[in-house]
Chains A and B, each alone.
Chain A
């Protein structure tokens, strides 16, 4: 049962363009929504995160938009650079003592020079 759905599966963007990755969740028992960036051969690394009481969070070129009523959130990468080429995972953290993350299926982003 997939509780976090992510799209698109892959994305190709020109340098300087805007990359947009979308996620939707099906379970309301989440209290925190991080995005992870993963380069080949490396572990996922926390990129940016948002709590559901906030509609937008911006850190540098990265912005999360969160729509609680629609149960959707998205990552925007402004002025995309070739160095941003990686796999991006959205995730949702479960409420409760365990706090485990449920991940989306990932988006492979390629930024062309």
Chain B
């Protein structure tokens, strides 16, 4: 168990809908990263938050947004969903800012858009 908790584990929704994925980082970790894993794209970095503030953006669509709350949990919001958004979404956490920071991944949320 990595200590990173993601909910829900599975999500099935229709095209055009909006969903929210939740991530609780490991105790003491200030950074949260979101990754998308699809069969044809592998693991793609979406966005990172550090202590409540956005730190970096990757290949995140404008239909997607995220935030990190004062208790350090994070939510990834996906809207106007398309079939191609079906993927595994992973959250990872780390203590950023040192050379020996490791990123620990949650078990992911499998999103299926039908």
In the assembled complex, B58 has its CB within 8 A of some CB on chain A = yes
Residues A69-113 near B (CB distance < 8 A):
89, 97-106
In the assembled complex, A31 has its CB within 8 A of some CB on chain B = yes
In the assembled complex, B11 has its CB within 8 A of some CB on chain A = no
Q: How many residues of A contact B (CB 8 A)?
A: 23
B97 touches A102 (CB 8 A): no
Q: How large is the interface on B (under 10, 10 to 19, 20 to 34, 35 or more residues)?
A: 20 to 34
A99-B101 contact given A43-B106, A106-B42, CB 8 Å threshold:
yes
In the assembled complex, B99 has its CB within 8 A of some CB on chain A = yes
In the assembled complex, A46 has its CB within 8 A of some CB on chain B = yes
A100-B2 contact given A44-B43, A45-B105, CB 8 Å threshold:
no
Known: A97-B96, A99-B101, A102-B45. 20 other contacts (CB 8 A): A34-B102, A36-B105, A43-B2, A43-B4, A43-B92, A43-B108, A44-B43, A44-B90, A44-B105, A46-B103, A51-B99, A97-B55, A99-B94, A99-B103, A100-B45, A100-B48, A101-B92, A103-B35, A103-B43, A104-B42
Q: Which of A's residues lie within 8 Å of B, judged by CB?
A: 31-32, 34, 36, 41-46, 49, 51, 89, 97-106
